[in-house]
Structure formats: C-alpha cells, structure tokens
Amino acid sequence: MIAPLMKGLILGLILSISVGPVIFAIIKQSINNGHKAGYVFVAGVSASDITLVMVCNFFTGLFNTALSYKNTIAIAGSIFLIAVGVYTLFFKKVQVDEENKLLTKTFRKRDYAGIFLSGYFMNMLNPGVFLFWFAWTTLIMADSQTATHPGEYRFIVFTTCLLFVLLADIAKVVLAGKLRSRLNAKNLRFINKLSGLILIGFGVALCWGVLALFK
C-alpha cells in the first residue's frame, strides 16, 4: 500500500523538522553526555510519541479529557522547560581531564532512567505535540475509511511516521556526537548557555501563550 506509506513519510518529515525544545535538548544531551545518553533521551521522546498515538487511536475519550486540561499541561511543560534551562544555564558543569579534553560521564542505570524520563515528559508536556497528534489522527482516521482495510491503513501510516522520526532523531545524535569530538570546554560552556537560554525562551513563550488565553 503505497498511499499510507507515503503519508507516513510526509507526516514523519513534518514532525522531524519541526523546531521545538526537543530538538535542542537532543543535541544538548548528546554533546554533553555522549551518544549513549542521546540515544536514551531519543528513546524517551519516541516512547511518548507512541503513547500519544495509541491514546489518540484507541482511547479517544481519554485524549479529549487530556485536551480539556491543555492549559494546565502547558503550564507544567513551561515550568519543566524553564527548570531544565536554568539548570543548563547556571549549574551544568563541563567535565575535562588534565589536558582540558572533554570527559564522557559514566552513568548508572538510574541515571539513564532519568534521561529517558526527561525525554518522555519534555515531549509529552508539549501542547503542540498533543495537538499535532490529535489533528493528524483525526485526518488519518477519516481518510482510512475509504481504504479496504482501515486498521491496516492507519497502522502503516503511524508506524512509518514513528520510525522515520526515530531514525531522524538518531541521526541528530550521531551528528551531535561528531560535533562533540571537535569541541573544547570553552565551546561546550557556550553551547550549554545557549541551549539553556533557548529552553527558557520556549518555556516563557509557552507560558505567555497560556496566560494570553486567560485575558
């Protein structure tokens, strides 16, 4: 079935090139903590996308209930982004060896669990991601009704989309890893400060958008 495959690819392309806090967080995580931490963060982001797709398709009532609390979710998301941004900007330390070369931190299992959850919730608490999946699921479900096998049609679309996004995020980790090998401590401190400011900016913009709705 070429049609659902192509729609899945287009949908995945749209999502993977969308500029948001997650893309900067993937790059920041990979540069600061190495490719393994980047992959774990990406796994958390992908898991949240899978969760939202399943909820949209099989638990529409639950998703509609969640949407009714989108302002609360947005505020929680903005607080999360600002907190991560402040930590990155002011408290994130760059580890170097005696030759001033970057060190890759050794993580324990619970550290990786924390990285996974940060990726999961950073993506999950973004109202834009909520609305993206809700809008496209509604369109794909309506479109699938004209197909011979609607369930198979939707499965191909969303599986293709999710795999494309996952591969695109993995590519970002790989590219960030290549960049990391060329950085020194001074460069990394600058990137951390820039990443922190960007995350704080996204958090403030998200909160500002919610407050504007209450006027």
Q: How confident is the model at residue 48 (pLDDT cuts 50, 70, 90)?
A: very high
pLDDT tens-digit readout, 169-199:
999 899 887 877 776 667 777 877 887 888 8
Q: Where are the domains of the chain?
A: 2-88+95-213
Residue 45 has pLDDT above 90, yes or no: yes
> pLDDT at position 102, please?
58
Q: How confident is the model at residue 131 (pLDDT cuts 50, 70, 90)?
A: confident
Q: CA-CA distance, 81 to 144, in Å (whole number)?
A: 36
Q: CA-CA distance, 64 to 67, in Å (whole number)?
A: 5
Q: What percent of the chain has pLDDT over 90?
A: 18
Residue 50 has pLDDT above 90, yes or no: yes
> pLDDT at position 24, please?
80
Regarding predicted confidence, which is higher, 117 or 106? 117
> pLDDT at position 97, please?
54
Cβ burial of 53 (10 Å; 0-12, 13-18, 19+) is buried
- The structure's pTM equals 0.75
